[in-house]
Structure 1
Amino acid sequence: MSGLSETERLGCTEILKLLSNRDLLSLSDTVTNKVIVVENSSEALETILIFSKNAEELLRRKKVQRDLIFRYLAKQGVAMAPISDKHQLVKRTLELWKAVLDKRPQGLKDGTREKEPSETASDTLNLKVTVGFDPQVLGQQFCQWFFQLLNSQNPSLGQAPQDWGPQHFWPDVKLRLLARAGSVQMEEFLGAELVSLRLLALTKEERLLLSPNLEPLGLRTLASPHGMVLVAVAGTIHRDSNCLGIFEQIFGLIRIPLENNSWKIKFVNLKIRGQEALGGTEATAPALTYNSTELQLLCS
């Protein structure tokens, strides 16, 4: 019997799918001590999951290389320093899976399958806040959804792009993009189609990977009296294994009428600072520079 929880099993499956067929078959032989003979990669993957004692043991296998775990965490919206070693990445991955399990209702913790974020990320943004309304919970769920969806468009990740498009934005959405990388550039776009295409270009054409810092210093939310929720998040920007700089992004979210748990993006302010603009300081888990007063002004 596998010692993996359902959450760990789904996460390990995503990581193992990044292995080549040859490495997958080799890992199956290692895990089973060549007692089980498999004929293809699908059988090898299932065998590895069944015969692994626990998730930590599996993640520490030599075939499960550091870069694979880094790519998995980035896809899940978890910010990690590019210089993080495998031990740190394994520890953070296990913490992530434990947090997902702990947040589930008690009846779902013993193997009942629930959809993972990766399975619902292509849907219209439909966030469930089950106990009252907590803007911070909404902000965390939104960022996990948004960056997972946007990063999936990056060809270098080697995954099927999810359902990105203008349908996630209000028709009159506005994007303001300020980039400081050597020179200062300001761009503004109006309308769901143009905003969607410009953000898409960041990952699909420029091959950037945006990794948000969802810890308290990197994420702040604010609910206005008029129904808009502001989500401000900081993070790092990568291309392949290189950290190019940091970003701060503010989203204005408004509910869709008659659909209490559905939201669309009303505006996006994105500020990017390249390594040159950082003055040589190391970008690991950047903190927001916006304060509550500045966020409140955006609500007015």
Structure 2
Amino acid sequence: MEVAATLFTVKEKECFQRFLSKEFNMSELLSLVETITNRKITVRNKNEAIRAIIAHSQNALELLRRRKVKREYIFRFLLSEKVAVSLTSDKATLMRQFFWHCGTEAPAFEEAVEVAGELRRNVPPAASSVSYTFVQQHIHISGNCSTAQVPTMTQELAQQFTTWFYRQLNSSAQGSMPPSEWGPQHFWEGSRLRLIVTSSERRTEVFEGAELVANRLKSFVSDEGLMFNPNISPSGTSGSDDPHGLVVVRVCGTIHRHDTCLGVFEQQFGLIRDPLKQNTWKIKFTDMNLKKCAVERMPTLEGPPDRLAITS
């Protein structure tokens, strides 16, 4: 039988091979093979089934959209790959994160989505020309906005920063990550970390200096095997600024080790623009509250912007 032409990138093929191998048992793979090939191909083992599924799918998007590729499968796979995902994310959001994790450029993916008529996203009003990009692993802001648009811009910055920060932190223990991805370069030299840990008892630690702060945060992932899953929705991430140029970002989420949810966290950041590098932000301070507890739902933020308190 002639193999259909596929539009998978090399990285997408690698991601789907791991995804299908991890999350699907043999009977589920056989069912997918039958659906995709219209029962015209027989496979003898799991590897043959995975190769047939990828080879006969029109493209990566078409495969991921199939009903048999369930939301919970994508969620579990992203967690196993150390990707920060929200418990409340729908399949559309998880699909975007899957593609970003596989190295697919966001604009190309969004274009494919629009052509397919799926995963419609909210487009900012034409009057707003604010855009956010990540350059040299720092937060960059470009564009023009009126005073009335500043709160929207700050909230968008908060959500972009949150996504970037925990992706870098969760990946910092992986041996394949270049040294430049995580480190003291993202913090001001006089930065400070205030850490509050609550389990059977409550303890507070303070670390000062960019290198100490960066290393202590990394140790959660590299030494303790934790993964931080932030709530990047407006209920779990917020941003505010003051006239002196400080942007305060608050975020909460869940803490995991392997497949176990250990509790919740809340973190607050103070970001200051670097005057020597245009539109570049670095972390001046961060307060982190970790709480070991049973989790029934994704935590949300409550209280004023300067209060660090978790509600679960």
Matched, 1:174 2:188: no
Once the two structures are TM-superposed, the CA of residue 50 in structure 1 deviates from its matched residue by 3.0
1:188-236 CA-to-partner distances (Å, cap 9, x unmatched) read 1011111111000111111111111112221111111111100000111
Distance 1:184 1:58, change over 3 A: same
Residue 109 of structure 1, aligned match among 108, 111, 114: 111
Give the corresponding residue for 2:252. 234
1:240-296 CA-to-partner distances (Å, cap 9, x unmatched) read 111111111001111111433211111110001111xxxx5x34211123413548x
1:75-111 CA-to-partner distances (Å, cap 9, x unmatched) read 5533117xxxxxx86355247689xxxxx889x7369
8 A contact 1:212–1:236 mirrored in 2: yes
Residue 58 of structure 2, aligned match among 50, 58, 65: 50
Structure 2: which amino acid aligns with 1:128?
I
Distance 1:178 1:260, change over 3 A: same
Residue 75 of structure 2, aligned match among 69, 87, 106: 69
Q: Percent identity over the alignment?
A: 31
1:27-52 CA-to-partner distances (Å, cap 9, x unmatched) read 79553456599x99997685265356
Distance 1:171 1:2, change over 3 A: farther
Distance 1:194 1:57, change over 3 A: same
Larger Rg: 2
8 A contact 2:86–2:230 mirrored in 1: yes
Number of residue pairs matched?
Answer: 265
SS of 1:126's partner is strand
Give the corresponding residue for 2:94. 93
8 A contact 2:264–2:291 mirrored in 1: yes
Structure 2: which amino acid aligns with 1:144?
T
SS of 1:128's partner is strand
8 A contact 1:121–1:148 mirrored in 2: no
Matched, 1:79 2:86: yes
Residue 150 of structure 1, aligned match among 164, 169, 187: 169
Gaps of 5+ in 1: 82-87, 99-103, 112-119, 296-300
Matched, 1:201 2:216: no
Matched, 1:17 2:18: yes
Counterpart Cα distance in 2 of 1:41 and 1:265: 47
Give the corresponding residue for 2:288. 270
SS of 1:127's partner is strand
Counterpart Cα distance in 1 of 2:144 and 2:63: 31
Counterpart Cα distance in 2 of 1:43 and 1:24: 15
Counterpart Cα distance in 2 of 1:3 and 1:42: 14
Distance 1:187 1:195, change over 3 A: same
Give the corresponding residue for 2:299. 286
Q: TM-score, normalised by structure 2?
A: 0.67
Gaps of 5+ in 2: 100-105, 114-132
SS of 1:170's partner is strand
8 A contact 1:174–1:267 mirrored in 2: yes
Distance 1:15 1:79, change over 3 A: farther
SS of 2:281's partner is strand
Structure 2: which amino acid aligns with 1:165?
G
8 A contact 1:181–1:274 mirrored in 2: yes
Q: TM-score, normalised by structure 1?
A: 0.69
SS of 1:147's partner is helix
Counterpart Cα distance in 2 of 1:19 and 1:160: 22
1:154-207 CA-to-partner distances (Å, cap 9, x unmatched) read 55xxx8335211111111110000000111111110111111110001111111
Give the corresponding residue for 1:161. 177
Q: Which has the higher contact order (CA 8 A, sep 6+)?
A: 1
Once the two structures are TM-superposed, the CA of residue 238 in structure 1 deviates from its matched residue by 0.8
Distance 1:128 1:179, change over 3 A: same
